[in-house]
Structure 1
Amino acid sequence: MAERSEILLNSIAELNEVEALSFLANEFPGAVTFSSSFGMEDQVITHMILSGRLPISIFTLDTGRMFYETYYTWSQTNERYGTHIKPYYPDAAHIEAFVEANGINAFYESPAMRKQCCFIRKVEPLNRALSGNKVWVTGLRAEQSSSRESLPQLEWDETHGLYKFHPLMDWTTEQVRAYIKQNNVPYNPLHDQGFISIGCAPCTRAIKPGEDFRAGRWWWEDNSKKECGLHVHK
């Protein structure tokens, strides 16, 4: 798969983001999907896909503990583009068992407990969402964390058995904000309140001036542990 990845990467190297998305959609018809959490990056990609009428499906993972503002952005996005972004929810029985055994806020107790919560609410639904697809489009950017600085724009994901494409990998936050403003793209109002990376409400806070991009996520944990499992490869 490494050789095929290199061929695909070379094919899109000289294309802009929309052209690259279109190329992959034609290369893998009906099997390219985009995961949105309604953050700034994801709203940019959503605009590219829907305004360009690209044959790429869009889904979101509704963990059940999202901010009101995130649901508002979801609704505004559906209304603006006349679409219906598909939600995937965690298994109710697994949530019930976890909360009954550990408590409603058990994720604060240890990294292991938090990752178990993330697995139930995010990873398992993601596995269902990606099933049958060959390309997973994400909003990852190199600027977001040190672990993402060396990611190629297109890579093979052994865990899910598909290609991952990060069209905005080299974009800066300023570029993302400028694109949103220029194209009047709906965005999460929490971004105007110091929230940069937005996840579940109990696990996300606004960051302070000078803090790392991911400082607002699982702020009670060591920085080296700040992943939920969605982008961890085998």
Structure 2
Amino acid sequence: MTTIVQRLARKTRGFEARVAHAEALLREAAEDHAGRIVQANSLGVEGMVLTDMVARLKLPVAVATLDTGALHAETLAMIPRIEARYGIAVEVFRPRQEAVVQFVGRHGERAMYDSVDLRRACCALRKLEPMERLLQGRSAWVTGLRREQSAERRHVPFYALEDDGREKFYPLADWTEADVWAYVQRHDVPYNDLHDQWFPSIGCAPCTRAVSAGEDPRAGRWWWEQGAAKECGLHLRPEVASA
């Protein structure tokens, strides 16, 4: 089987400059927020590139992730792979079990398919609430969003000051898909096996499918919804992203 690295890794004009800029931004963020900065790794390839940079540059940046209780086995398998490869203890945050049980009891296991509001409510209890705990005590965080990923993300900056005063960094904002996979190839970065199964964007198992050649990279996320921004609210509020 041809791997996604073989298909997509390609060093393009400006690649070295983009890598250098991302590393410099990470170093600056780590210096300014030493002991109070975290990388939120969604366990997709962009998150793995950033974790590799953090480890390779020996930066004082914590690495954390969300286990929503509905992830693919391949995604959960990334946690021990990170810890074994980099010697990093990944902080794992989970939804409050009582809230999940109450939601499922009230709306059922397939509530996300019934309406956009129920899907967002599911995202809120499985992702947004645990993310609040992940960020507690942090003055900054790092994420792997890229402008190329979707129309909603085309204006992603390198840096933003959030309403709560916390700083947010996007070191890969200007990277292309080819850049990401060229970096993976160069540094032999471990990545989620789902990427080789045509999952460019990976979320919860019930809400993510493989895409066909030529489809938008985020077409596999909440594919049954029409006219709504394909966001859960961790990075872009859906009502704002779709405006």
Give me the TM-score of the superposition, normalised by structure 1: 0.90
Aligned pairs, number: 221
The secondary structure found in structure 1 opposite 2:228 is: helix
Percent same amino acid at aligned positions?
44
Aligned ranges 1:44-55 → 2 under 5 Å:
44-55=49-60
Tell me: CA distance 1:34–1:223, structure 2 relative to 1, closer, same or farther (3 Å): farther
Note if contact 1:65-1:200 (Cα within 8 Å) is conserved in structure 2: yes
Match of 2:138 in 1: 133
Shift in Å at residue 223 of structure 1? 4.6
Residue aligning to 1:25: 30
CA contact (8 A) 2:152 2:229 kept: no
Deviation per residue, 1:64-101 (Å, 9 max, x gap): 11111112222211111112100000011100100111
CA distance in 2, matches of 1:130, 1:73: 21
Which runs of 5 or more residues in structure 2 are unaligned?
Answer: 1-17
The residue number in structure 1 matching 2:209 is: 205
Q: How do residues 151-230 of structure 1 correspond to structure 2 at under 5 angstroms? A: 151-158=156-163, 160-230=164-234
- Per-residue deviation at 1:50? 1.0
CA shift at 1:110, angstroms?
0.4
Equivalent in the alignment of 2:101: 96
CA offset at residue 185 of structure 1?
0.7
User: Quick one: which amino acid aligns to residue 191 of structure 1?
Assistant: H
Aligned partner letter, 1:76: R
Q: Distance in 1 between matches of 2:87 and 2:135?
A: 23
**Native 8 Å contact 2:48 2:191 kept in 1:** yes
SS of 2:160's partner is: strand
| Other structure's SS at 2:23 match | helix
Consecutive unaligned residues in structure 1, runs of 5 or more: 1-12
> Which range moved further: 74-83 or 85-94?
74-83
Q: Check whether the contact 2:145–2:156 (CA below 8 A) recurs between aligned residues.
A: no
1:90-123 deviations in Å (ceiling 9; x for gaps): 0111001001111111111000000000000000
Moved over 3 A (4+): none
Q: Matches of 1:78 and 1:105 in 2, distance apart? A: 33
1:231 aligned to 2:239? no
Supply the distance in 2 between the matched residues of 1:28 and 1:126 (Cα, whole angstroms). 19
Q: CA RMSD in A?
A: 1.7
* 1:122 and 2:123 matched: no
TM-fit CA distance, 1:133 = 1.2
Match of 2:6 in 1: none
Contact 2:37 2:62 in 1 (8 A): yes
3-state SS of the aligned residue for 1:136? Answer: strand
